[in-house]
């Protein structure tokens, strides 16, 4: 029951940060909260405890083989650690997408679907952003040359 509560709390912890990235990416508080260490300070201690202090890994855990990793993920506390890992890194990627798009002059409207995809399916959202970035920056460079 404790792990289920932590799971829900971790999920609810990151959602306001995603809303800020989507709805108010240039707001000063978004920059302070999302691009700062807040999420890391909130979730990394729980991650560390789940990974290193909650309970020993199951016998046969081996992180260099698929089978050994599958054994590790039979332990709910290690699945929880893995989930927090995803939550932290996906948000980091989403924040990077917003900063990168702003630096490159890409309209935030193009970034929003990428952020939603990154939230739901991390690497696919990043891939979508990289594709959007490629086409939007190529178009911007093309437009600036006057060859339209």
DSSP codes of every residue in the chain: -HHHHHHHHHHHHHHHHHHHHHH-TTSHHHHHHHTTTHHHHHHHHHHHIIIIISSPPPTT--TTSHHHHHHHTTSHHHHHHHHHHHHHHHHHHHHHHHHHHHHHT--HHHHHHHHHHHHHHHHHHHHHHHHHHHHHHHHHHHHHHT--
Q: What is the percentage of the chain residues whose pLDDT exceeds 70?
A: 93
Q: pTM for the whole thing?
A: 0.87
- Determine the pLDDT at residue 141: 57
Q: What is the DSSP letter of 148?
A: -
Query: How far apart, in whole angstroms, are the C-alpha atoms of residue 143 and residue 124?
Result: 28
* Cβ atoms 115, 94 nearer than 8 A: yes
- Determine the pLDDT at residue 144: 56
CB burial readout 109-129, b (16+ within 10 A) else e: eebeebbebbbeebeebbebb
- Determine the pLDDT at residue 44: 96
Low-confidence ranges of the chain (pLDDT < 70): 139-148
Query: How far apart, in whole angstroms, are the C-alpha atoms of residue 61 and residue 39?
Result: 29
- Determine the pLDDT at residue 140: 55
- Determine the pLDDT at residue 1: 72
User: Where do we find the tokens 């178009």?
Assistant: 139
- pLDDT per residue over 49-63, tens digit each? 999 999 999 999 998
Query: How far apart, in whole angstroms, are the C-alpha atoms of residue 89 and residue 9?
Result: 17
- Determine the pLDDT at residue 148: 45
């Amino acid at each position: 029951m404790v792990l289920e509560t932590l799971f829900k709390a971790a999920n609810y912890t990151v959602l306001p940060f995603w809303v800020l990235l989507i709805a108010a990416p240039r707001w000063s508080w978004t920059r302070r909260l999302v691009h700062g260490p807040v999420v890391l300070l909130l979730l990394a201690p729980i991650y560390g405890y789940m990974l290193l202090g909650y309970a020993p890994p199951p016998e046969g855990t081996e992180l260099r083989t698929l089978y050994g990793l599958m054994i590790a993920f039979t332990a709910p506390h290690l699945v929880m650690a893995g989930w927090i890992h995803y939550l932290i890194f996906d948000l980091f990627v989403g924040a990077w997408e917003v900063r990168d798009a702003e630096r490159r002059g890409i309209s935030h409207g193009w970034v929003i679907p990428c952020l939603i995809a990154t939230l739901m399916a991390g690497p696919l959202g990043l891939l979508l952003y990289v594709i959007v970035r490629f086409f939007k920056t190529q178009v911007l460079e093309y437009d600036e040359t006057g060859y339209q």
